[in-house]
Amino acid sequence: MTSPESIPAIVARQREFFAGGETRDLDFRVKSLEKLADEWKKREPEILEALAADLGKPDLEAYVSEYHFVLQEVRLFIKKLRRWAKPERVGSPFYFWPARSEIRREPFGVSLVIAPWNYPFQLAMAPLISSVAAGNCVVLKPSELAPATASKLAEMVESVFDSAHVTTVLGGIEVGKVVLDQRFEFIFYTGGETVGKIVAESAAEHLTPTVLELGGKCPCLLDSEIDLDVAAERIATGKWFNAGQTCLAPDFVLVPEALHDDLVSKLEANLRDWHSGSDLPDLARIVNDSHYQRLQNLAGETVIQIGTDDPETRRMAPRILPRAGFDDPAMQEEIFGPILPVIAYDDPDSTLSELQNSPSPLALYVFSKNRDFLETAAARVPSGSVCFNDLLKQATNFNLPFGGVGSSGHGRYRGKFGFEAFSYDRAVMKRYFFRDFFGIHPPYEGALEKLRKILK
Ligand code: NAD
């Protein structure tokens, strides 16, 4: 753990390093990212091991959603950074000619990245890569709930970066609070809404800009015109990946009454097929005892459960809650676990109104063969992202921005959007030493008449 007393000095050193100007150099940034990519590749087995230790993540899930995801992003930055960082030439008003105007992407300074535990490598490394690429210094605070990952991140950061450039601080809420008391030029936070508000409050103290990547209940709405087999397989895949501990996981499903029973039995058939043994080796574990207990309470008297729970290892069997309702306990908070309520509806219009009146989710999922149904749902229910006829895939496309809206957060990142999030657009105009053909300075007598003619 990092001693809280050492934190002000860490930030002060980074501020000094930033002022030295080295991070403004594009070669320096690209070299830093190349070094990071090399280290990342060398450490693949350690990364998968840490994820198995913290969350029991199956290797395949860890490989695609953390190891390879980060590798792809860092490679993209190495390839595209110089292009993204180029100043953008824009026109100037004719009455100031000759003049040259451009937009420069400038780094903020010292940035803070606070990461959660559910994708503990990906959600720490992706903002770190964006921030370094944009030319900032970074203080990274991983989640204490994924300790093996946190110490691996610290080890890796130490071997790649000068600590005055990028440093990891380890610890829980105590350390988090001291970190937030410092002044940063930019804060990037991923986690729950409650802490998100604390982060926003601390940021306001120094008028620090933020990106807040929060959570919420992502709905999955089905039309009657669908291929139910494909929909059921995709819903089961997206929901139980990482045992449902995904900010973008479908939190609940809304299905037309006539399809309810069929959907439930197809979801169940998929799960029974995939998890034939009782010890669920291909399902991640619940992160800690308090979340395990919280989820047990939400599950209540589950009707459909696939496999057996193991409180010792916190492996929790997938649950389906058929014929659920908006007033059920599982519908009062973000589930963030392997439980899926399925709600039957009769009227699409009142169902959309219900969603419209709920807090805006990070993602909206709609399944239909009917374009009008898809577009009406997207138009009526605001969300950070939308995926039609599948789940999670929108977040794996580096050409799309990732982020929430309203209570699911604000700001965007991933690829170019990450570079832009960690930079600010600086307006730069250059003029030359030609005499102005019209100067706006006293005496003003008669000048307005002349100006009207020029500007008309
Ligand atoms: P959390 O809010 O408990 O913690 C996140 C981070 O904040 C951790 O590093 C933690 O140490 C730190 N922290 C906690 N209390 C703090 C305090 N008082 N001061 C300073 N730092 C503090 O969130 P979590 O449980 O780790 O994550 C789960 C939530 O995150 C879910 O709601 C999920 O939907 C959301 N989430 C969102 C995204 C996204 O990209 N939008 C991704 C993953 C998770």
Beta bridge partners of 167: 139
pLDDT for position 216: 95
The secondary structure of residue 310, as a DSSP letter, is B
User: Rg (Cα) of the chain, in Å, rounded?
Assistant: 25
What tens digit of pLDDT does each residue of 143-181 get?
999 999 999 999 999 999 999 999 999 999 999 999 999
pLDDT for position 439: 84
Q: Which two tokens stand for residue 384?
A: 């950070």
User: Residue 429 is inside which H or E element, if any?
Assistant: strand 423-431
What tens digit of pLDDT does each residue of 233-272 get?
999 999 999 999 999 999 999 999 999 999 999 999 999 9
Q: What is the whole-number distance in angstroms between the Cα of residue 399 and the centre of ligand 1?
A: 25
| Distance separating alpha carbons of residues 292 and 295, to the nearest angstrom | 5
pLDDT for position 201: 98
Q: Which residues contact 312 (CB under 8 A, 6 or more apart)?
A: none
- b/e string for 269-282 if b means 16 or more Cβ within 10 A? ebbeebbeeeebee
Contact 221, 231 (CB under 8 A): no
pLDDT for residue 389 is more than 80: yes
Other Cβ atoms less than 10 A from the Cβ of 27: the count is 8
Q: What are the phi and psi torsion angles at 363 (to 5°)?
A: -140, 150
Q: Which two tokens stand for residue 18?
A: 């930033």
pLDDT for residue 302 is more than 80: no
pLDDT category of residue 301 using cuts at 50, 70 and 90: confident
pLDDT for position 45: 98
Question: So which residues are the catalytic ones?
Answer: 213, 247
Percent of the chain with pLDDT over 90: 94
In the block, residue with structure tokens 């990274």: 140
pLDDT for residue 437 is more than 90: no
Other Cβ atoms less than 10 A from the Cβ of 428: the count is 13
Is the CB of 383 inside a 6 Å radius of any atom of ligand 1?
A: no
pLDDT category of residue 279 using cuts at 50, 70 and 90: confident
pLDDT for position 25: 98
pLDDT for residue 14 is more than 80: yes
| Distance separating alpha carbons of residues 125 and 51, to the nearest angstrom | 14
Is the CB of 177 inside a 6 Å radius of any atom of ligand 1?
A: yes
pLDDT category of residue 303 using cuts at 50, 70 and 90: confident
Q: Tell me what the mean pLDDT of segment 115-137 comes to.
A: 98
Q: What is the whole-number distance in angstroms between the Cα of residue 251 and the centre of ligand 1?
A: 18
pLDDT for position 83: 98
Percent of the chain with pLDDT over 70: 100
pTM of the model: 0.96
The secondary structure of residue 402, as a DSSP letter, is B
Contact 62, 51 (CB under 8 A): yes
Q: Which two tokens stand for residue 8?
A: 């002000």
Q: What interhelical angle do 26-42 and 122-133 show, nearest 10?
A: 160
| Distance separating alpha carbons of residues 48 and 70, to the nearest angstrom | 13
pLDDT for residue 278 is more than 90: no
| Distance separating alpha carbons of residues 152 and 47, to the nearest angstrom | 8
Indicate the top mutation candidate among 195, 218, 405 to test ligand 1's pocket, ranked by most ligand atoms within 8 A of CB.
195
Indicate the top mutation candidate among 121, 123, 143, 360 to test ligand 1's pocket, ranked by most ligand atoms within 8 A of CB.
143
Is the CB of 21 inside a 6 Å radius of any atom of ligand 1?
A: no
In angstroms, how far is CA 193 from the centroid of its own chain?
A: 13
What tens digit of pLDDT does each residue of 323-375 get?
999 999 999 999 999 999 999 999 999 999 999 999 999 999 999 999 999 99
pLDDT for position 74: 98
Q: Which domains does the chain have, with CATH numbers?
A: 4-214+406-428 (3.40.605.10), 218-395 (3.40.309.10)
Q: What is the whole-number distance in angstroms between the Cα of residue 125 and the centre of ligand 1?
A: 15
Instruction: Look over the chain and give the mean of its residue pLDDT values, rounded to a whole number.
Output: 96
Strand order from edge to edge, sheet including 99-107: 88-90, 99-107, 423-431
> DSSP states of 326-341 as a string?
TTSGGGSS---SSEEE
Q: Which two tokens stand for residue 137?
A: 């210094």
pLDDT for position 436: 86
What tens digit of pLDDT does each residue of 411-428 get?
999 999 999 999 999 999
Q: Which residues contact 89 (CB under 8 A, 6 or more apart)?
A: 100, 101, 102
Q: Which two tokens stand for residue 363?
A: 């993602």
| Distance separating alpha carbons of residues 10 and 12, to the nearest angstrom | 6
- Exposed / middle / buried, residue 103 (Cβ in 10 Å: 0-12, 13-18, 19+): middle
Strands (E), 248-303: 250-256
User: Residue 186 is inside which H or E element, if any?
Assistant: strand 186-190
Q: Tell me what the mean pLDDT of segment 104-113 comes to.
A: 98
Contact 78, 41 (CB under 8 A): no
Q: Which two tokens stand for residue 388?
A: 């039609």
